[in-house]
Amino acid sequence: MRYTLDKLKEQKFFCRGDILVYILIAVITVVVMCVFLIPERQNALERINIYYDNDLVYVFDMETRQGKTASGYENIIAEDYSGETIRVTIVTDKGENVVEIGSSYARMASADCRFADCVRSFPPIKEGGDIIVCLPNKITVTGEGVAVSNEIRL
């Protein structure tokens, strides 16, 4: 099935059939946008949830500015309320992650996993539905909020 070099060299940057391919990709893009953008996009960040290995280990209430550690996980969670932001340190067998929670955001401040993608690549959580995942350390941070479409405004 390999084509000759001459046939490969004759190739153009655009063929008629490309239109069909690009239309198909455009349809996929539109479907993805419709599925994930139009339905209830959450806002109004209410809670920050921290999961370790898919278990909810810590919940921070953005309104009361208080956090709560799930029972059985007290030994892996440490809170620091001394600064302007609250720092939650999670130390597990996999490694150490520090989540910084500000007045209206949460971000992964540091992680000891190699390359620390969760620190460098994930944008801060600013509204419900946002997420930060540290796959090597099995830590997931999610934002929880009220869905816009569910809000009743008078």
Partner 1 sequence: MKGGAKRITVLAAFTAISLVMFTVESLIPTFIPGAKIGLSNVFTLLALFLLGPYDAVILVVVRTVLGSIIGGNLSAIMYSLTAGIVSLAVSVVLYRFAFGKVSITALSVSAAVVHNIVQTAVFCLVTGTTQWFYYLVYLVPIGIISGLCVGVITLAMIKYIPVSFFEKYIVIR
Min dist. Cβ of residue 51 to partner 1 (A): 8
Using the rule CB under 8 A, is 103 a contact of partner 1?
Answer: no
Cα dihedral across residues 26, 27, 28, 33: positive or negative: positive
Binding mask 29-58 for partner 1 (x = CB under 8 A): x--xx-xxx----------------x----
Using the rule CB under 8 A, is 23 a contact of partner 1?
Answer: no
Min dist. Cβ of residue 35 to partner 1 (A): 8
Judged by CB under 8 A, which of 50, 97, 142, 145 binds partner 1? 142
Rank residues 20 and 78 by Cβ distance to partner 1 and give the closer one.
20
Interaction site with partner 1 (CB under 8 A): 1-3, 5-9, 11-18, 20-22, 24-25, 28-29, 32-33, 35-37, 54, 113-115, 117, 120-123, 129-131, 133, 135-136, 140, 142
